[in-house]
Amino acid sequence: MKTIALALIVMLSGCTIADSYLLGKFDNNEYMLVTQIRTDSAKAIRSCDNAAASAANAEAIADKTQLLENYSEKLQHNDDVYNASKSLNEIAQGLVRQYQSGKPVSAMFCKLKFGSLQNSAITIQPIIGKRPR
């Protein structure tokens, strides 16, 4: 048994062990932000028939996705979450740009964009939540 355990550890190359140990730790703020983005997106979908409310919702959620991107950027060993948060922010900024363009924004576009934000936050949330404490 001792030999097997030793062999298993030796089999895992130094790089693999280092890479694994360099995994970012659970961060309360990061988890809270992605949970807020998920919750706010789900709520905002219900207001998509109201253009003024939706424009305000888009600005508010884009502020949160920008905050998540900026916050994730400087955390150690956090490249994967940072990259995901950048993509999440691009989704939100695309929504804001449509409202700022002055052209009419369809309710369907609003629903799909907030749905896209919700789906993506649902993908990110459990990964951040399972990180080692």
The residues of the shown chain that bind other proteins, judged by CB under 8 A, are: 1-2, 5-6, 8-9, 12, 16-17, 19-21, 23, 80-81, 83-84, 87-88, 90-91, 94, 97-98, 101, 103, 105-106, 108-109, 112-113, 115-116, 119-120, 122-124, 127, 130-132
Nearest approach, Cβ of residue 31 and other proteins (Å): 14
Nearest approach, Cβ of residue 29 and other proteins (Å): 18
> Please, which residue, 23 or 60, has the CB nearer to other proteins?
23
> Please, which residue, 6 or 60, has the CB nearer to other proteins?
6
Is the distance from CB of 81 to CB of 73 less than 8 angstroms? Answer: no
d(Cα 66, Cα 53) in Å, to the nearest integer? Answer: 20
d(Cα 81, Cα 131) in Å, to the nearest integer? Answer: 11
> Please, which residue, 74 or 126, has the CB nearer to other proteins?
126
Is the distance from CB of 117 to CB of 37 less than 8 angstroms? Answer: yes
Nearest approach, Cβ of residue 90 and other proteins (Å): 6
SS3 102: coil
d(Cα 65, Cα 11) in Å, to the nearest integer? Answer: 41
> Please, which residue, 9 or 52, has the CB nearer to other proteins?
9
Tokens of 102: 């002055």
Backbone angles phi, psi at 104, to 5 degrees: -65, 140
Nearest approach, Cβ of residue 60 and other proteins (Å): 19
